[in-house]
Amino acid sequence: MRVHVTVNGAQMTADDVWPGESLLYVLRERLGLPGAKNACEQGECGSCTVYLDGVPVCACLVAAGQAEGREVRTVEGLASGAGELDAVQEAFVECGAVQCGFCTPGLIVQAHSLIAAHDGVPPDAEIREHLAGNLCRCTGYEKILDAVRLAARRKAGQ
Ligand code: FES
Ligand code: FES
15 burial via Cβ count (<10 Å: 0-12, 13-18, 19+):
exposed
Residue pair 86/148 in contact by the 8 Å Cβ criterion? no
pLDDT band of residue 158 (cuts 50, 70, 90) is confident
Residue pair 112/78 in contact by the 8 Å Cβ criterion? yes
Mean pLDDT of 139-152: 97
Q: What per-residue confidence (pLDDT) applies to 129?
A: 97
pLDDT exceeds cutoff 80 at 142: yes
Mean pLDDT estimate for the chain? 96
Question: Helix 87-94 vs helix 104-116: angle between axes, to the nearest 10 degrees?
Answer: 130
pLDDT exceeds cutoff 80 at 82: no
pLDDT band of residue 80 (cuts 50, 70, 90) is confident
For 51, the enclosing helix (H) or strand (E) is strand 49-52
Q: What are the b/e assignments for 32-51, b being 16+ CB within 10 Å?
A: ebebbbbbeeeeebbbbbbb
For the domain covering 3-76, report its CATH number.
3.10.20.30
What percentage of the chain has pLDDT greater than the value 70? 99
The residue to mutate among 92, 137, 145, having the most atoms of ligand 2 within 8 angstroms of its beta carbon, is: 137
Measured at the alpha carbon of residue 67, what is the angle toward residues 81 and 45, in degrees to the nearest 5? 80
pLDDT band of residue 157 (cuts 50, 70, 90) is confident
- Amino acid at residue number 145: L
Q: What separation in Å is there between the alpha carbon of 108 and the centre of ligand 1?
A: 14
The residue to mutate among 23, 26, 28, 41, having the most atoms of ligand 1 within 8 angstroms of its beta carbon, is: 41
For 92, the enclosing helix (H) or strand (E) is helix 87-94
Residue 100 Cβ inside 6 Å of ligand 2? The answer reads: yes
How many C-beta neighbours within 10 Å does residue 79 have?
15
CATH architecture for segment(s) 87-156: Orthogonal Bundle (1.10)
Quick: pLDDT tens for 46-73.
999 999 999 999 999 999 999 999 999 9
Residue 6 Cβ inside 6 Å of ligand 2? The answer reads: no
Q: Looking at the CA of residue 24, tell me the nearest atom of ligand 1.
A: 2
108 burial via Cβ count (<10 Å: 0-12, 13-18, 19+):
buried
Quick: pLDDT tens for 106-140.
999 999 999 999 988 999 999 999 999 999 999 99
Residue ranges of the chain assigned to CATH 3.10.20.30: 3-76
Residue ranges of the chain assigned to CATH 1.10.150.120: 87-156
Residue 65 Cβ inside 6 Å of ligand 1? The answer reads: no
